Chain A
Amino acid sequence: MSLQTTGGAAGAPPSEQTVRRPRRPGRGADGPDHDARGPRGSRLGSHLFLLALVLYFITPLWWLVVGSTKSNSGLFASSSSPLWFADDFAFVDNVQQLWTYQGGIYFTWLGNSFFYALAAGVGATILALFAGYGFAKYRFRGRNAAFALLLGSVMVPLTALVIPTFVLLAEMDLVNTRWAVILPSLLSPLGVYLVRVYTQDVVPDEMLDAARVDGAGELRLFFQVALPLLRPAIVTVLLLTVVATWNNYFLALTMVRSPELLPITVGLAQWQALSSGGAGGETLWNLVVTGAFLSIIPLVVAFLALQRYWQGGLALGAIK
Chain B
Amino acid sequence: MVTTTTRAGERRAVRAPVKPRPGRIERNRQWWGWVFLAPFAVVFLVLLVAPLAYAFWMSLRTSTLAAGESFTGLANYQRAFTDPLFLQGLGRVCLFVVVMVPIQLGVALLAALVLDTLTTRLSRFSRLMIFVPYAVPAMIGALMWGFLYSPRFGPATDLFGLVGATAPDFLAPGTVFGSLVNIVTWQWSGYYMIILYAALRGIDPSLYEAARIDGASGRQIALRIKVPMISAALVMVVVFSLIGTLQFFTEPSILRNVAAGSIPVHYTPNMYAHGLAFSYQQFNYAATISFALGVIVFAFSYLFLFLTRKRSGLNS
Contact = CB atoms under 8 A, between A and B. Distances in A.
Interface of A: 1-12, 15-16, 18-20, 22-24, 27-28, 30-31, 34, 36-39, 42-43, 46-47, 49-51, 53-54, 56-61, 63-64, 67, 75-76, 81-83, 126-128, 130-131, 133-135, 137-144, 146-148, 150-153, 155-168, 183-184, 186-187, 189, 192, 200, 205, 218, 222, 243, 246-247, 249-250, 253-254, 264-266, 268-269, 272-273, 276, 285, 288-289, 292, 295-296, 299-300, 302-304, 307, 311-312, 314-315, 317-319
Given A4-B6, A50-B122, A155 B302 contact: yes
A47 B126 CA distance: 9
20 contacts: A2-B314, A4-B5, A6-B3, A8-B312, A16-B224, A46-B117, A49-B114, A57-B132, A59-B148, A61-B144, A63-B147, A130-B36, A157-B293, A160-B247, A163-B277, A218-B35, A249-B250, A253-B274, A272-B258, A319-B198
B310 interface: yes
Contacts of B133: 57, 61
A10 B313 contact: yes
A138 B36 contact: yes
B55 interface: yes
B33 interface: yes
Nearest to A137: B33
Given A131-B41, A137-B33, A314-B198, A163 B229 contact: no
Contacts of B80: none
Nearest to A222: B36
B232 A7 contact: yes
Interface in B199-258: 199, 202, 205, 207-208, 210-218, 220-221, 224-225, 228-233, 235-237, 239, 243, 246-247, 249-250, 253-254, 257-258
B278 A254 contact: yes
A6 B7 CA distance: 12
Interface string B123-135: 1011011111111
Contacts of A34: 212, 217-218
Contacts of A272: 143, 146, 254, 257-258
Main secondary structure of the interface of A (DSSP, over half): helix
A138 B122 contact: no
Contacts of A42: 218
B118 to A, nearest CB: 6
Contact of A157 (B130, B215, B220, B247): B247
A1 B314 contact: yes
B301 A163 contact: no
B247 A60 contact: no
B66 interface: no
Contact of B313 (A4, A46, A126, A152): A4
Interface stretch (B98-106, B150-158, B173-181): B150-158
B129 A57 contact: yes
Contact of B202 (A5, A141, A159, A314): A5
Q: Which of B2, B40, B231, B286 has the most CB of A within 10 A?
A: B40
A31 B315 CA distance: 40
B287 A7 contact: no
Prevailing SS type, chain B contact patch: helix
B40 A128 contact: yes
Contacts of B283: 163, 167
Nearest to A192: B40
Contacts of B233: 3, 8, 315, 318-319
Given A6-B5, A289-B147, A160 B277 contact: no
Contacts of A3: 232-233, 235-236, 312-314
Contact of A254 (B5, B130, B246, B274): B274
- Chain A CB count within 10 A is highest, among B10, B119, B137, B214, for B137
B3 A156 contact: no
Given A163-B274, A184-B47, A218-B32, A38 B218 contact: yes
A78 B140 CA distance: 24
Given A24-B215, A36-B205, 16 more contacts: A4-B3, A8-B199, A49-B110, A54-B130, A57-B186, A75-B153, A127-B43, A128-B40, A131-B39, A135-B33, A138-B31, A276-B258, A295-B137, A312-B198, A314-B195, A318-B236
A304 B270 CA distance: 33
A82 B155 CA distance: 5
Contacts of A269: 139, 143, 253-254, 257
A192 B230 CA distance: 23
B36 A167 contact: no
Given A7-B312, A300-B136, A37 B117 contact: yes
Contacts of B125: 54
